[in-house]
Chains A and B, each alone.
Chain A
Amino acid sequence: EVQLVESGGGLVQPGRSLKLSCAASGFTFSDYNMAWVRQAPKKGLEWVATISYDGSSTYYRDSVKGRFTISRDNAKSTLYLQMDSLRSEDTATYYCARHAAAIGDWFAYWGQGTLVTVSS
C-alpha cells in the first residue's frame, strides 16, 4: 500500500524558514517523480513544486521560485521542501504527492498533509 506521511509543519513568523519532510513507503520511491501541492484554508489546490525521480530536475511555480527548494533522498525514501523567506500567503496545508509516472502526469497518490501557518 502506498503511503506518504508529511511532517514538519507548524507556526512560523514571516521571513523565517521551515523544512517539510515526506516519508514514502509501499513503492520504489526512486522510480517516481514527486511533488508538493498546497491548499490554503478553505481554498483550492495549488501545485508548488516537482522533482524528477533522480533529483536531477526541479520545477517550481513562480510565486515560490528562489524561496522554496524541493529535494529528495532516495536512500531514505524521503521528499523534502525547504521553505525560506516565508510569507503570510504561504499559509496552507502542504501535501506530498506522487506523480503517476512522467513529470507532468496527474497526482496518483497524496499524503494526509501538514499545516504551515505563517503569522507573527
Chain B
Amino acid sequence: DIQMTQSPASLSASLGETVTIECLASEDIYSNLAWYQQKPGKSPQLLIYYANSLNDGVPSRFSGSGSGTQYSLKINSLQSEDVSIYFCQQNYDSPWTFGGGTKLELK
C-alpha cells in the first residue's frame, strides 16, 4: 500500500497569514493527489485534484503543487472559515489511501 504522510499534524495561524501543508507519498504517485477539507462535524469536501487543479467553487486562495512523492497545499490570506482538518489522498493505486490529516486552528 502507498503510505501518505502529512505534516504538520496540527497548525495554528493568524487571520491573513499564509499556511502550507505538506504531503509525502511512499512512492511516486505521478500527481494523482487530491486534497480535502473537513470542517468540524461535517463530511470532507474536495478542494484540489491532480495535485494542482482547483475544484469548482473553491476560493482561489487555495492552491496545490508538487510532483513525484512530494506535494503541498497552500492557503493564502487565511480566513476564519478555513478552520478545518485537511487530508491528502493518493488516487494512483488501490487501495486509495489518505494522509493522517492536518488540523488547522486560528491563533
Chain A residues near B (Cβ < 8 Å): 44-47, 59, 61-62, 95, 100, 104-113
Q: SS class of chain B's interface: helix, strand, loop or mixed?
A: loop
Q: Are B98 and A44 touching (Cβ within 8 A)?
A: yes
The count of chain B contact residues (Cβ–Cβ below 8 Å) is 23
Complex Cα–Cα for A111 and B45 (A): 10
Q: Is the CB of B34 within 8 A of A107?
A: yes
- Taking a contact as CB atoms closer than 8 A, the residue among A62, A106, A113 that contacts B89 in the complex is A106
Tell me if A45 and B98 are in contact (CB < 8 A).
Answer: yes
Q: Is the CB of B34 within 8 A of A112?
A: no
When the two chains form the complex, which single residue of B87, B93, B94 contacts A45, counting CB atoms closer than 8 Å? B87
Of B46, B93, B101, which contacts A44 at CB under 8 A? B101
Cβ of B97 and Cβ of A47 under 8 Å apart? yes
- On whether A106 and B34 interact (CB within 8 A), knowing A44-B99, A47-B97, A62-B95, the answer reads yes
